[in-house]
Amino acid sequence: MTQTMKAAVISAYKQEFPEIVDLPRPALQAGDVLIQVAAASINPIDLKTKDGGLKMLLHYDFPLILGSDFAGTVTAIGPAVTRFKVGDRVYGRVQKNRIGTFAEYLAAAQTDLALIPDMLSFTEAAALPLVSLTSYQALQEIMQIKPGEKVLIQGGSGGIGTVAIQIAKALGAFVATTTSSHNFQLVKELGADFVIDYRQQDFSEVITDYDYVFDTQGGKILEKAFTIVKPGGKVVSITGLPNHRFAKAYGLSLWKTGALRLASHRLSRLEKDTGVGYEFLFMRPDGDQLTQLGEMITAGKLRPVIDRVLPFTKIKEAFTYSASGGARGKILLQMIPD
């Protein structure tokens, strides 16, 4: 059996597209599982990584295999592995310092993985790990949403939004979302209670007195979010600037913490002026949480929304489409047909 694999790599930041090359298969650490990857999803963080947008937070060596989440089959296990066996169908979001799911084989820590619910294909499963964990950690861990509370989810038809709406509804929230008019039906089917056409309406002029905002846009849209949230509420962002509290918790150096304090001063001022808390979320892999989310899938409370599936060989086309920002749900790369 050959010990090489096809993998999509970049050789430097700001490379236009990853290139598919031959590389050695990854070696296993004691608690690792070796997976033959069947499908992987493209996420905004993959584009940010490619362009060097996360250099403040993460260091990578080149050549770098891109890709953050996946679904596949266990082909080997390390000596300390107790959760999985060869032949198991698994999915997960790998650790940020061990990315590389755009490849035929992947080594990942057993604690970052979960068994795929029986009703999902590999392609469907690969659409969920990063976006469902991100949404769960924002809505359940940070916001701690209670039934009847109101949350605005920005970008309801995107990869994060389509999943966040479903999780928020499962938690009992009243959900508003923004999208374009041709996506209204989709987000309503997912459970949105109130839909705002961002091309025709400014959300900050339409709704008020909300408990939370889940921001996926950043910039001026993030700043406007503070105006619609009650004092004591929270704005959680995955695209806004990390602040000094995040920097300290993440263990960044003093100079990076200071730099982020200066860069995020407008957000700190908004917190003070409105009484609304702000948190930047840099989600973490968590196999146990993914197992809990799998129970939601089995119960019919959560399903993947897939825009398109492309073969691995068309990764350049997939990246181009992802960068356009027009996807409804997720974009998948398929290594092995379902």
Task: Name beta bridge partners: 23.
Answer: 5
Length of the chain: 338
Residue among 86, 136, 88, 77 nearest 110 (CA): 77
Residues 114/290, Cβ–Cβ less than 8 Å = yes
Which two tokens mark 174? 């009243």
Which two tokens mark 137? 């950690």
**C-beta atoms surrounding 228 within 10 Å:** 22
Walk along the chain (338 residues) and give the pLDDT tens digit of each residue. 469 999 999 999 999 999 999 999 999 999 999 999 999 999 999 999 999 999 989 999 999 999 999 999 999 999 999 999 999 999 999 999 999 999 999 999 999 999 999 999 999 999 999 999 999 999 999 999 999 999 999 999 999 999 999 999 999 999 999 999 999 999 999 999 999 999 999 999 999 999 999 999 999 999 999 999 999 999 999 999 999 899 898 999 999 999 999 989 999 999 999 999 999 999 999 999 999 999 999 999 999 999 999 999 999 999 999 999 889 999 999 999 88
The pTM of the full predicted model, rounded to 2 decimals, is: 0.96
φ/ψ of residue 207, rounded to 5: -125, 155
Kind of pairing between the strands at 32-42 and 330-334 = antiparallel
The Cβ-side half-sphere exposure at 313, using a 13 Å CA radius, reads 1
